[in-house]
Structure 1
C-alpha cells in the first residue's frame, strides 16, 4: 500500500500554538524498517517481500524505505541512487545486501530473518514522542509545503534529538535481479519498485530539535520543490501521484548515524486542488490481525482532500455480495483525515469486504470503492473453568545447536508482548537443551504464540531435534510443534469460559427496547441484580450492578453490530441478543 494513514482527532476549538495533527496521548513506538538494496542484489526482493508482510501485519504501525546505493545499485536506467543513500551506506559500511535497520536499534545492520522479532520488540515499547503532520503539494508548480509536529509525552534521555523528513516514491518500473522472489512486485517480467528513497528534505541525518522534555510541542515547516527527474544519469520521473513523505525522530548522533528512532509516521499528503468536496478512502484493514473470532472490526481511513468541512457521510459496505449502509456524523475538516470503525459479522476464510462513500453532507457522492480480502486464520479454543479468571500456560522450548538464533513471544491483539524468551546459547555439539517458562492469560484473551529462527531453517533441521510445546494448567499439551519451519511459525490461542449460553435462559419476563437501537436501551425485568453486555466472541464489554426492575443503558459509543445482554435476576438468568445500529 502506498498510503497508510493514522487517526487524527479533530478538536472543535484549538488554542493558539496548539497541535493540529499530532496526538498528545502516550503511544507505543511505531517502527521504521530501512532496507539497503540494489537492482543487482538477487535476494533483495525477498527482503522486500518480508518487509511488506511485516507492514501488513501491523497496519499503520510499520513504515518502510528502500535505499538504493552501493555496489549492487548501478546507475543504468532506472537510476535509483541518491546522494543521501550513498552517504548512509558509506557511513554504515554496508557491503552485504539486503541489510536492514529496525528503528536503528542494532549496532550493525541485521538480516531479513530478524526484522520480524525486532519489530515486535519495538512495537511494545512506549514512545517518548509522537510525530505527525501534513504535506500540501501544488501539482502545477510542484511546490510542497511540509508541516511536521513532534509532541513529547515523556522526557528523552538526550537534551537534543534529530528530526528527519524523507521523500519516497512507489511504482518505479524497471529491472531487478531476483525479482521473481517477490511476485507481488514482479509483474509481466518487470519489477515495480516501492518505498524508494528519492530525497531527504532535512539534512541526511536529521535536523537538531530541542527541548526534548515532556509536554514540549515542536512544529517545523519545510518548503520543498519536488524535482521532475531524480537521478543523474538515467534518472526517473518523480510522479507526484506516487510521492509521499515519512518523518521520524531519532535520539542522538553516534558518529555514524542518528539513532535509535523514537517514533515515525507517514505524513498526510494532499494535492492543493480547488475542489470543495473530495473524499478518498485510502485504506481498509482489520483493527487487529490477531483475532479469535469471525466477528471483527475493520478500520476505514478517509482523507478529506477538498476545502469544505464534512459533517456527515454515508458508507456502503458489501461483504460477499451482501450490501448494507452506515451513517457517520462528526467533523472532518478540509485537508484532514480520520479513521472510521465498522463491525463486520460472520467473516470466514477468504471473505471479501468492499467499502465506498455514497453520500457526503447529505448530497450524493461517487467515490471509488476499496476492497480487502480476509485470509483464513485458525485458532485454538482454550476453555477454562467458569470460576477461574486466569489460566497459566507452560511453554517448553527444546533448542537445537543454534539456540542463539531462536526467540519466542506471546503477544495480545494490541501487539503487547505478554511473555518472551531467547535467544539461547550456542551449543558446542549437535543436540538440544530444554527451556521451560510460563505465561498467565486472562479470560477472553486472544493471543499469538510466535517462535522465530534468524537462521531461517527452524529448530529441527539436522542440528538437533528441536521442538516446542504449550501446555495448559492441567498439564495437557495444547500445542505440539516439531520445530520444522523457516523464519517463523505461530499459533493463535483463545481463552474462553462459557458465560454466554442460551441454556441459561430461565427467565422469560424481561423486556429490552428499542432493539435495534442507536443510543439507549430500556430494560424491564423483575428483580434485576446485574446486567452484562458481551461481544459475540464472549468478551465482556460492560458490567452494571442494578438492584432495580427498570434500567436505562447507553450504547451510543458501541460499534455497530450484534451483542449479547445477560440479565441476572433473583429467579435466574436471561440472555437477549441486541443490535447497535
Structure 2
C-alpha cells in the first residue's frame, strides 16, 4: 500500500516577505496592545452589555486596543429570514477557550487565573476591563504596525504589516494574523432594545491569513519581518453586504494558536483605481505537489486596471533558478480574468520547492499597483500511482458548494463535477490516458470546507493515497504521476 498522506490547502493570497529596514514600525520597546475577542450572537440578551464594556475599553485606549466581535455558537444561529453573521473561523477560535456562557471574551487569548469561565481563556464580561489593564501594563517583546489601502472600484485590499522584535520570543516561530472586521451592520439582537435595527460593531468578517495565521520565521531580538498581503474583498459574506468604508483591518501576532503578543488596527486609505494594474490573482498549478521533470504553471491573470489589459510579461522561476518570461496577449476588461498556462521550464526537484510568478509591463507601461504583481506557491514531489485511480467523494451538508476539476500534464481539462445535492456520493474512475502528470483540484466556493462529514478519497488500485476532510477551506490541489 502506498503511503497515506494528508494535503494542506495553499494560502491563496499574494505575499512578499523581506528583510529590509522598517518604515512604519518603531524599534523602541513598548507595552502590549490589547486584542479583545468577544464571542457573541444575535439571540444573546446580555451581549449588548458586553458590547458596551468592550467599546468602553477601546474608548479609553483607542490607539492600543483592538476589538473583534466573533459571532459563533447557538446564539449566533440565524432563524428564518435572519442574517447569518457567522464565519468559517469562529467555531475553532471559540473552541479553544472553554467558554461556558455568552457573552464571553478573551483578552490576548491569555489565561488569567481565577477569572476564567471554565478552565480556559474565556472570561465573563465583568473581567474584561481588569484583564485589559493588565495587558496594557505588560512589556511586549515585539512591536507591530500596519497600513492598508482599499481601491473602491476594484475592492482590492493591500495590507503592509511590519513586526520588529525588541526582545526574544519564547517560541522559535510566531504567527501573523490579519483580520477584516466591519462596523455599522444593522441586524437583529435579542438585547439592546433595538429589535432588528441593532448596530453591530467590530464584527469579524474574514481572516485574510487563514484560521491561525502565517509563520514569522525569525523571532529573536533585533529581527524584522514585513509582508504585503493582497485580497479581493467580496461584495458580501453569507449574503451580508460588505461596506468598504465601514471596515477595520486588524493585524496581530500570536505565539501559537493561543497567546496574542500584541495587535494593531491599520490605518486605511481609499485610493482611486489605477489605469494599469495587472495581477497574478491565483496560482492554480502547482499547489502542494508537482511531478519530476519540466514544470508548466497555470495561473489566473486578472485586470484590476481601468484600461483594458491587452499585453503583459509574466516572469516565473522555481527555487530561485533561471527566470523564464512569457509574453501574454489578449483583451481583458476590468474586472475580467483569464486562465493562462505557462510554458514548461526545467528545474531540479527538492523535498521543498517554491515557484514565484510575477506579471510586469501591462500594455507596455509601468504597473501602478505592484502589491498584487507577484504570487508564490510551495510544493513537494508528487505521489507515484498506477494508471487506475478511483475517486470517492461525499459532499456532506453543503453539496452545492463543492466542485472539482481534473487536468492532464498539458493543462487540458479531462473531467469535472459540481452542482451536487446535499449528502450526495460520487464514485468513479478518473479518466487517465497513459503515463503523465495529473492534477486534481477540489474547491469549496464558500470557503467553510466540508460540512456534515464530507470527505474526498483518491485510491490507487484500491489503496487510499489521498484523504481530505477538515483540511478543505476554499481550494486544494492534488498532483500525482500515473504510470
Bigger relative contact order, structure 1 or 2, given CA contacts below 8 A and separation 6+? 2
In our comparison, the structure showing a higher alpha carbon Rg is 1
- Bigger fraction of residues in strand: 1
Return the TM-score normalized by structure 2: 0.49
Return the TM-score normalized by structure 1: 0.41
